[in-house]
Amino acid sequence: LIEDAELISQQVLADGQRVIHLKSPRIAAQAKAGSFVHLTCSNAHPMRRPLSIQRVDRAQGLIEVLYKIVGLGTHALSERKVGETLSCMGPIGNGFSIDLTHTRPLLIGGGVGIPPMIFLSDEMKQLASLTPFVILGSEIPFPFNARPSTIVVPGIPSDVIAAHPLLEDWNIPSRLTSLKGFAGCYEGYVTQLASIWLKSLSDAERAKVIIYSCGPTPMLKAVAQLAEAFKLPAQVSLEEFMACAVGGCAGCVVKINTENGPKMQRVCVDGPVFEASRVMWTE
Ligand SMILES: Cc1cc2nc3c(=O)[nH]c(=O)nc-3n(C[C@H](O)[C@H](O)[C@H](O)COP(=O)(O)OP(=O)(O)OC[C@H]3O[C@@H](n4cnc5c(N)ncnc54)[C@H](O)[C@@H]3O)c2cc1C
Ligand code: FES
């Protein structure tokens, strides 16, 4: 589905990060956590760019996207003005499938992999049977104003208190990690804090955990290893270079160990979310 979306807002954050809102009612109606849009950033750059959907406001027909300026496309997007129209294809991809049998989901997001974790938290907050815990990492200032958590998380060091404000409002516990020494954050990787938390659980509680994750490939690989070490199921959202995003060009393939053996699968339409234990990592 392609929709001409009006740019409603463009908020400037630290280190080239931006949050935009697009009026895109049909995409907002169908999006789910883990799905993304393929955006034409400007007429001068006809190749679309894939960006995850962070939140939707179905009543207003809005989608929210968090992006980081890295190259030509995202730079062109940062120069678009409120009121302009962007061609928006989406929602694309098989998002996360919430497993109701594992009632203690652990969500791990890194960098521009944070947005799908916010969308997933939003979906989970409607499900009273689940008690999610969210760990987010960044090596540049976080794209939100972190605040000290008022929700105690047993097993987490007591000086690690920085949390995502929106998740706090939703009563979902979260903790932040960084190697950059930001106040209240765990100094280390998301997977290290996750490991501390998992070790603190009893065997019975740990058996209720499933991991959902999105972030840079080295982080996802570490998450897959963590899941394997603790014998936990995990779903990871992969990032690949994309041209068509409709399954036609095979530009985005990854090797997946399917039930019928190793197969090349397309991140855009077969993913972007895959079972971590099935991904055959190359990096
Ligand atoms: C499913 C998915 C979801 C994503 N979600 C987000 C998000 O929510 N926020 C965000 O900031 N970024 C996200 N990205 C990464 C984002 O698509 C790239 O940063 C962006 O395409 C770079 O374009 P550019 O023109 O600015 O950079 P350039 O480096 O100039 O891009 C040149 C080409 O390389 C491709 N490319 C470059 N880097 C990447 C990359 N890391 N992944 C895939 N293609 C790349 C571009 O699509 C383009 O075709 C996502 C990527 C995927 C695949
Ligand atoms: S980007 Fe063309 S098949 Fe995925």
* 148 has a pLDDT exceeding 80: yes
CA of 156 to the centre of ligand 1 (A): 33
Pocket lining: 119 vs ligand 1, CB cutoff 6 Å: no
Pocket lining: 143 vs ligand 1, CB cutoff 6 Å: no
Report the chain's mean pLDDT, rounded to a whole number. Answer: 96
* 129 has a pLDDT exceeding 90: yes
Residue nearest to atom 30 of ligand 1 (CA): 71
Which of 38, 48, 242, 264, when mutated, tests ligand 2's pocket best, judged by the most ligand atoms within 8 Å of its CB? Answer: 242
Q: What is the pLDDT of residues 196-206, one digit of tens each?
A: 999 999 999 99
* 135 has a pLDDT exceeding 70: yes
Q: What is the pLDDT of residues 231-279, one digit of tens each?
A: 999 999 999 999 999 999 999 999 999 999 999 999 999 999 999 999 9
Q: What is the C-alpha to C-alpha distance for residues 116 and 58, in angstroms, rounded to an integer?
A: 17
Q: What is the C-alpha to C-alpha distance for residues 245 and 269, in angstroms, rounded to an integer?
A: 7
Q: Which tokens sit at 84?
A: 């302009």
pLDDT band at 45 (very low <50, low <70, confident <90, very high): confident
**Chain position carrying tokens 């393929």:** 38
The pLDDT score that the predictor gives to residue 43 is: 87
| Helix %, strand %, coil % of the chain (to 5) | 25, 35, 40
CA of 244 to the centre of ligand 2 (A): 5
Q: Among all ligands shown, which has an atom nearest to the Cα of 52? A: 1
pTM metric for this prediction: 0.95
Average pLDDT of 64-82?
A: 96
* 283 has a pLDDT exceeding 80: no
The pLDDT score that the predictor gives to residue 72 is: 93
* 78 has a pLDDT exceeding 90: yes
The pLDDT score that the predictor gives to residue 46 is: 83
Strands 104-110 and 209-214: parallel
* 188 has a pLDDT exceeding 70: yes
* 218 has a pLDDT exceeding 90: yes
Pocket lining: 251 vs ligand 2, CB cutoff 6 Å: yes
CA of 49 to the centre of ligand 1 (A): 6
Average pLDDT of 60-72?
A: 97
The pLDDT score that the predictor gives to residue 18 is: 97
Q: What is the C-alpha to C-alpha distance for residues 7 and 11, in angstroms, rounded to an integer?
A: 11
Q: What is the C-alpha to C-alpha distance for residues 69 and 90, in angstroms, rounded to an integer?
A: 21
The pLDDT score that the predictor gives to residue 128 is: 93
Pocket lining: 146 vs ligand 2, CB cutoff 6 Å: no
Average pLDDT of 200-216?
A: 97
CA of 190 to the centre of ligand 2 (A): 30
Pocket lining: 240 vs ligand 1, CB cutoff 6 Å: yes
Q: What is the C-alpha to C-alpha distance for residues 253 and 174, in angstroms, rounded to an integer?
A: 33
Q: What is the C-alpha to C-alpha distance for residues 13 and 25, in angstroms, rounded to an integer?
A: 25
Strands 162-163 and 147-148: antiparallel
Q: What is the C-alpha to C-alpha distance for residues 93 and 84, in angstroms, rounded to an integer?
A: 26
Q: What is the pLDDT of residues 85-109, one digit of tens each?
A: 999 999 999 999 999 999 999 999 9
